[in-house]
Structure 1
Amino acid sequence: MRFEQITSVKNNRVKDWASLKQKKYRTQLGMYLAEGIRLVEEAVASGAPIEAILISGDLQSGRYDKIVNGVASLGTNLYEVTEQVLEHVADTKTPQGVVAIIKQTVGDPRQFLQNKTNPLYLVLDSIQDPGNLGTMIRTADAVGASGVFLGKTCVDLYNPKVVRATMGSLYHLPLFEVDLETFLPLMKEQGVTIVGTATEADKTVFQHDFTQGTVLVIGSEAHGLSEGVAALVDHNISLPMPGQAESLNAAIASSVMMYEALRQRTQ
Structure 2
Amino acid sequence: MRSLNLESYIESISNPKVKAWAKLLERKHRDREGKFLLEGVHLVKEALEAGWPLEAVVFDEGSDVLEQFETYVGSDESGRTRWYPVSPEVISKCSETGTPQPIFAVAFKRQPSEVALFGAGERGLVVVLDGVQDPGNVGTIVRSAAASGATAVVLGKGTVDMYNPKTIRSTMGALFHVPVLEADLSLLLPQAANRGAAVVGTSLQAAQSCYDYDFRRDVWLVFGNEGAGMSEAVSTFAHANVIIPMTGRAESLNVAMAATVLLFEAQRQRMG
TM-score (norm. length: structure 2): 0.92
Secondary structure of the equivalent of 1:96?
coil
1:44–1:71 Cα contact (<8 Å) kept: no
Q: CA deviation at 1:211?
A: 0.9
Unaligned runs of 5+ in 1: none
- The 1-side partners of 2:270 and 2:115 are apart by 25
Counterparts in 2 of 1:1-267, with a 5 A limit?
Answer: 1-3=4-6, 4-56=8-60, 57-59=62-64, 62-68=67-73, 70-71=75-76, 74-109=79-114, 112-114=117-119, 116-267=121-272
* 1:135-189 CA distance string (max 9 Å, x none): 1011100000111111022111111111111111111121111100111000001
2:141–2:260 Cα contact (<8 Å) kept: yes
Unaligned runs of 5+ in 2: none
Q: Go from structure 1 to structure 2 and tell me whether the alpha carbon gap of 1:258 and 1:112 turns closer, same or farther (over 3 Å shift).
A: closer
Q: Go from structure 1 to structure 2 and tell me whether the alpha carbon gap of 1:46 and 1:60 turns closer, same or farther (over 3 Å shift).
A: closer
User: What amino acid is aligned across from residue 90 of structure 1 in structure 2?
Assistant: S
1:44–1:70 Cα contact (<8 Å) kept: no
* 1:59-79 CA distance string (max 9 Å, x none): 587233344364476341110
Q: CA deviation at 1:124?
A: 0.7
- The 2-side partners of 1:111 and 1:63 are apart by 33
- The 1-side partners of 2:65 and 2:88 are apart by 16
TM-score (norm. length: structure 1): 0.94
- The 2-side partners of 1:138 and 1:118 are apart by 20
Q: How many residues align?
A: 267
User: What amino acid is aligned across from residue 43 of structure 1 in structure 2?
Assistant: A
Instruction: Identify which range, 110-119 or 225-234, moves more after superposition.
Output: 110-119
- The 2-side partners of 1:118 and 1:60 are apart by 42
Instruction: Identify which range, 179-188 or 67-76, moves more after superposition.
Output: 67-76
2:57–2:104 Cα contact (<8 Å) kept: yes
Secondary structure of the equivalent of 1:225?
coil
1:150–1:178 Cα contact (<8 Å) kept: yes
Q: CA deviation at 1:117?
A: 3.4
- The 2-side partners of 1:148 and 1:60 are apart by 32
Q: Go from structure 1 to structure 2 and tell me whether the alpha carbon gap of 1:261 and 1:115 turns closer, same or farther (over 3 Å shift).
A: closer
Q: Go from structure 1 to structure 2 and tell me whether the alpha carbon gap of 1:60 and 1:37 turns closer, same or farther (over 3 Å shift).
A: closer
1:53–1:100 Cα contact (<8 Å) kept: yes
Instruction: Identify which range, 161-170 or 70-79, moves more after superposition.
Output: 70-79
Q: Go from structure 1 to structure 2 and tell me whether the alpha carbon gap of 1:258 and 1:168 turns closer, same or farther (over 3 Å shift).
A: same
- The 2-side partners of 1:107 and 1:260 are apart by 25
